[in-house]
Structure 1
Amino acid sequence: MLDDLKVKIGPQFYQYHVGAINRVSLLLEEYHAKKILVVHGSVSWEKAKPKLTFLNEERYSFIFHQYTGECSYYGADLIVALSKQEEVDFIIGVGGGKLTDLVGYAAHVLNVNFGVIPTLASNCAPWTPLSVMYKETGEAEGKTEHFLRQAAFLITDPSLIIDAPVDYFVAGLADTLAKWYESDAILQQKDLINEPFLQLAGFTSKLCKEAITKDSAQAIEDMKNGKLSDCFVRLSEIVFAVAGMVGGLGDKYARNAAAHAMHDGMSKYIPESHQYLHGEKVAYGIFYQLALEEKWAMIDQLLPFYQELKLPMSLHQMGIYPEDEAVIEDIIKFIDSKEKVHLIPITITEDTLRTAVYQLEEYIKGKG
C-alpha cells in the first residue's frame, strides 16, 4: 500500500465538442461567480472571442487581462494584484499551456475558483493541477508549482483547436507520447504493479501511446486541411485532456521522469533551445531517457515516426549542442537533482546521465 500517492483526476467538469463553450455561462452560475477576470493572449484571443458568447451576458461583470506570454511568478503577481483590486471571484484562462498554467497557479494563490478554455492541443497543461514556472526571459525556473485546487471546468471547441498552428499540435503529440516512455518501467516494478490507481495510469499512458503512434499522421493531415475529423478530435482530446489523467492517477510514479527533466535542463541552461516548443524538446528527451535505459531497439522503432513528424532526435540535429562542456555538466546535475528521475529502476548517477547524452549523439549521428 502506498502512503504517498496523491490522486488528482482532473477538472470538475469537462466538455469538448462543437458549441461546448456555450455551457460556460451555466458553470459560472453554478459557482455563483459575479466578477470574473478573463486572462488571455493575443492571436488566439482574437480567434476565440466569437465563440465566447457568455461575455455578452449582463449578469456577469468581466475584467480582461493580457498575460505576458510566460508562466512566471511576475505574471502571477500581476493577476493576483488585479484580482484583489477588482474583487474578482472567478478566473477564466483562454489560451495555450503556459497561460492555463499561470491561471491555475494564480487562482491557487488567491484561493478563488478558475476555469480554462484551451485554444491549442499542445500539452496537458489545461488538465493538470500544476504549473511549470519560467522567467520572463523564457528561461525555465527549474521548478514546478503543485497545488491541490482543480479547475472548475475545462471546456473547448474542436473548431477552435483545429485553427491553431499545426506545429503546436505536433509538439503536443510528442509531449503526450512521453507519458508511456517515462512511466512504463516505473509502473512495472513489483511493488507498484498491483496498485489500482497506478494500473489505471498505465492503461491510460498505453492508450495515448498506441493512438499517437498509429494515427498522428492522419490527424496532422486533417488539421492541415481544416478537416474536423473524428481522428483529429480524438487525438487532440488525448493531448490536452486524456494525457493529463496519467499523472493525475499515477502522481509522481507516472508524471515526469528523465524526458521532461532533460527538457527542463535544456530550457534552463541552453538559451538557444527556446526556439523549440515544449513538446519538441520533450521528444528529444524521450530518446535521451531511452538511451539512459539502454533501450536502443525502442529508439530504432520510433525513428520512422520521428522522421515522419520531423521531431528532434539529438542536440546536434537541433543545432544547439553547447560548445562549453560545462553546460552539459549543469544539465546533468540538474537532472540528477530530480526525485522522479531516480524512480526509474536502473542505476542512475551523474556518470550514467552524462554517458547517455554522449552515446545518444553518436547513435543518432550513425543513423545519418
Structure 2
Amino acid sequence: MSFHVVSRVGPQQYLSEKDAYDYLPEFLKSLSANRLLILHGIKSWRKAAPYFPNLAQAGFDVFQMTFSGECSHKEIDRVIQEIKNLDIDLIIGLGGGKVIDTAKAAAVKSGDCRLIILPTMASNCAAWSALSVLYEENGISIGHELYPRQSSLVLIEPRVILDSPVDYFIAGIADTLAKWYESDSLLTHIGTNHLALLYARDSAKICHDIPLKYAIQAVDDMKRGILSNAWQLVMETNIIAGGLVGGFGDEYGRATAAHSIHDALTYFPETVHLLHGAKVAYGVLVQLALEKKWEEILKLLPFYQQLQLPTNLQDLHLEACSIQDIHKLAAFSVSPDKTIHLLPFEVNEATVFEAIQQLELCTQAYLAKK
C-alpha cells in the first residue's frame, strides 16, 4: 500500500475567540474582496446574526443565500450559478458541515472565488479539511471530493457553537474519535518516517485522548451553557485535530472501515434520523470487531453509553431487520469504492457480516452485566 502524500494542512488564517466575527471587515479589505455571498442555514444565521458585523455598512456588497439542506451536486451547481450571476468575489460558508462543504465546493469550482468559513457547530472537521462529503438529494452518501486549495480564513465565535444543539456536538466527538481508530490501521503499517505522517499520527492521538478525557465534562458544561476550558478544548479538537489528521496525512489519514459502515447505513431509511457522527460511532465498533480488538470495544462501551451513542442494531433502529438486510448492510460497506479496503487485511461481505453479529453478542453480554 503506497500513496502519493500531498498535505493540505489547513486554512490560511484561524481565529477562535469571543467577537471573532469582528475581524471580518479588516480581513476582507486585505483581500480586496467587495462582493460577498453568505451561504447559510436558517437556524445557523439566526444564532450567528447577533455577533455578525454590518458588512454592508462597512462598504461591502453583501448577498445572502439559504442552504437547501443537502451537499449534493445539484445544490453545489445552484450556488455556483449564484456566484456567477452576482459576480461574487468571496463566499462565506456559515453553518454546519454540509453548508461548509457546499461552500467549499462552489468556491473552487466557480473559479477564482475565495472562501471564508464560519462553523456554527462542532459536529465535524469540515471547516478545516480540503474536501467535501457528497450526498444524493435523498441523503445517500456518494463519496467525497478533494480540492487543491483551502479557505482563506476560519472564524469561530465560541458563543455561537455553545448555543448549538448538544447532539451535534456529541456527534462531532464520535466523528473525531474515529480519526484515531481509522487512521491507526494505516499509519502503523506505512513503514516510513515522513514528517507529515508523524504530525498526522500525533493529531490522531489528540483525537483519541482529548475526547476520552474531557468529552463527558464538556457535554455537561454545554448543557448548562458554561464556556469552560474543557468544552473549548473538545470543541476545537472536533474542528481542528480531526482535520489535521487528513490534512497532514492525506490518504494515510483518511477514513477506513468506520466511515464505510456509515455510508452503508445511509441506504437504510430507519437510520435517517441519526447524525453522521452517530453512524460513524457504530462504524468504529464494527471496525474494532473486524480487527478482533474486543478489549478496546469494552473500554469504549461505557463512554458510548454516557454519550448515548449507538452500540448495536437496536440503537440504530435496525433491530427488526432480517438477516438478509444485515447482509445488504455488509455488502454496501465493501463495495469497490469503499475505504474499508484500506485495512491491512482482506475484508469482504462475509467478514463484515460476522463482525456485526459478533458485536451484537458482545454488546448484549456487556448490557446483561450492568
Q: Shorter chain as normaliser: what TM range? A: over 0.9
Counting only pairs closer than 5 Å after superposition, residues 126-137 of structure 1 correspond to structure 2 as 126-137=127-138
Corresponding residue for 2:198? 199
Counting only pairs closer than 5 Å after superposition, residues 187-266 of structure 1 correspond to structure 2 as 187-189=187-189, 191-192=191-192, 194-266=193-265
CA distance in structure 2 between the aligned counterparts of 1:187 and 1:323, rounded to whole angstroms: 35
Question: SS of the residue aligned with 1:106?
Answer: helix
Corresponding residue for 1:180? 180
Question: SS of the residue aligned with 1:226?
Answer: coil
| Displacement of 1:217 | 1.0
Paired residues in the alignment total 365
Corresponding residue for 1:315? 313
CA distance in structure 2 between the aligned counterparts of 1:363 and 1:217, rounded to whole angstroms: 24
- Kindly indicate whether the alpha-carbon contact (under 8 Å) linking 2:3 and 2:252 is maintained by their aligned counterparts in 1: no
Corresponding residue for 1:82? 82
CA distance in structure 2 between the aligned counterparts of 1:364 and 1:69, rounded to whole angstroms: 34
The reply on whether 1:345 has 2:344 as its aligned counterpart is yes
Corresponding residue for 2:108? 108
| Displacement of 1:162 | 0.3
From 280, 284, 287, the counterpart of 2:285: 287
Question: SS of the residue aligned with 1:154?
Answer: strand
- Kindly indicate whether the alpha-carbon contact (under 8 Å) linking 2:3 and 2:251 is maintained by their aligned counterparts in 1: no
- Kindly indicate whether the alpha-carbon contact (under 8 Å) linking 1:180 and 1:206 is maintained by their aligned counterparts in 2: yes
Counting only pairs closer than 5 Å after superposition, residues 34-113 of structure 1 correspond to structure 2 as 34-111=34-111, 112-113=113-114
- After alignment, is 20-29 or 48-57 more displaced? 48-57
Counting only pairs closer than 5 Å after superposition, residues 6-25 of structure 1 correspond to structure 2 as 6-25=6-25
Query: Unmatched 5+ residue regions in structure 2?
Result: none
Corresponding residue for 2:301? 303
Corresponding residue for 1:157? 157
CA distance in structure 2 between the aligned counterparts of 1:205 and 1:64, rounded to whole angstroms: 36
- Kindly indicate whether the alpha-carbon contact (under 8 Å) linking 1:257 and 1:341 is maintained by their aligned counterparts in 2: yes
- After alignment, is 300-309 or 350-359 more displaced? 350-359
- Kindly indicate whether the alpha-carbon contact (under 8 Å) linking 1:96 and 1:119 is maintained by their aligned counterparts in 2: yes
Alpha carbon RMSD of aligned pairs, Å? 1.7
The one-letter amino acid of 2:115's match is: F
TM-score between the two structures when normalised by the length of structure 2: 0.94
TM-score between the two structures when normalised by the length of structure 1: 0.95
| Displacement of 1:195 | 2.2
Query: Unmatched 5+ residue regions in structure 1?
Result: none
Structure 1 residues 216 and 326, CA gap change in structure 2 (3 angstroms): same
| Displacement of 1:349 | 2.6
- Residue-by-residue CA offset, 1:47-77 (whole Å, 9 max, x unaligned): 1012110424342101110011111111111
The one-letter amino acid of 2:94's match is: V
CA distance in structure 2 between the aligned counterparts of 1:160 and 1:244, rounded to whole angstroms: 20
- Kindly indicate whether the alpha-carbon contact (under 8 Å) linking 1:253 and 1:343 is maintained by their aligned counterparts in 2: no
The one-letter amino acid of 2:119's match is: P
| Displacement of 1:328 | 3.4
CA distance in structure 2 between the aligned counterparts of 1:4 and 1:333, rounded to whole angstroms: 29
Question: SS of the residue aligned with 1:125?
Answer: coil
Structure 1 residues 113 and 330, CA gap change in structure 2 (3 angstroms): farther
